[in-house]
Structures are given as C-alpha cells and as structure tokens.
Amino acid sequence: MYRQAATTEVMLVHPGGPFFTRKDPGSWSVPKGEYLEDEDPLHAAKREFFEETGHVAEGELIALLPVKQKGGKVVRAWALEGDMDTGSLVSNTFELMWPPRSGKMQTFPEVDKAAWFPIAVAREKINAGQLSLLDQLEVLLRK
C-alpha cells in the first residue's frame, strides 16, 4: 500500500515474535504470506493483507514483478494506493515454543506493528529481497 503525502509513502509491517523484537533495519516487509499452489495469488494477497493488518485491500491492485528473497522465498506483490491507520493494526497470531526447549507454548502476533515510511526510509527498513518492489513502484508512479 502506498499513499501520496508530501512525498510518496509506503506502508510496511514488522514481523512479530521473539526473533524480530530487537531487529529493525532490513526486517520490515510488505504484508505477505504463503498460498497454496491451486490458490489465486491475488486472492491470497488480499487475504494475507487482511490477516496481517485487519484492513481490507480495496481499490485497483497493480501487479508488480515477483521478487526472490535471500532464503529463496518468492514474493508476489501488488501496488495499491490507499490509506490506513497503522495504529489500528490487528494481526493474526501463531504459537511457538518459547523459550526454546522450555515446553512452554506462547502466542505471538504475526505482525507486531505497521508504519508509513517515505520510500527513501523504506529502503533502509525493508527486507533486502523486497527492494525491487520499491523500485517498481517508483517507476509505476512516474508514468
């Protein structure tokens, strides 16, 4: 999701859970998730956006070229002009044994926060494998 303010801003999400608690640069992401082989990727993207933010992705979605992250995960994304109050974030949760080997299961939000960033700042925050998505958005907005 992007919006036109004094400059173009993009909305990124920060992963929840204990592994990312103290990580900031390079750990933010576009809202994303897994989808089944027979599932429509656009439908999955809308579902994941809702699951990670609590907001419905409404409006014209423009397909961006897929990107491959360092671990090999391929991310398919769409540009969507819109606005949302990142303070009203509602994310789905996951369970994880924490601390490791403790036998204690804890519940964590999949996304612990969302924020709007000017594209220059987003370049510092976003997972390096997703930088191309910002490049593609800038090209798209110049047309």
Residue 104: CATH number of its domain:
3.90.79.10
* Distance from C-alpha of 23 to C-alpha of 19, rounded to nearest angstrom: 8
Q: What pLDDT, on a 0 to 100 scale, did the predictor assign at position 36?
A: 85
Q: What pLDDT, on a 0 to 100 scale, did the predictor assign at position 37?
A: 86
Other C-beta atoms within 10 Å of 75: how many?
Answer: 19
Tokens of 18: 């204990």
How far does Cα 18 stand from its chain's mean position?
Answer: 18
Tokens of 126: 């976003």
pTM given for the model: 0.94
Identify which of 104, 13, 108, 96 has the alpha carbon closest to the alpha carbon of residue 54: 13
Number of domains in the chain: 1
How far does Cα 141 stand from its chain's mean position?
Answer: 20
Query: By residue range, what is the domain housing residue 35?
Result: 2-142
* Distance from C-alpha of 45 to C-alpha of 111, rounded to nearest angstrom: 15
Q: What pLDDT, on a 0 to 100 scale, did the predictor assign at position 109?
A: 97
The answer to whether the CB of 12 falls within 8 A of the CB of 29 is: yes
Give the SS3 label for residue 63.
Answer: strand
DSSP 77-119: -EEEB----GGG----EEEEESSTTS--EEEEESEEEEEEEEH
Tell me which residue has tokens 């640069």: 25
pLDDT by 10s per residue, the chain, length 143: 999 988 999 999 999 999 999 999 999 999 998 888 899 999 999 999 999 999 999 999 999 999 999 989 899 999 999 999 999 999 999 999 999 999 999 999 999 999 999 999 999 999 999 999 999 999 999 98
The answer to whether the CB of 92 falls within 8 A of the CB of 110 is: yes
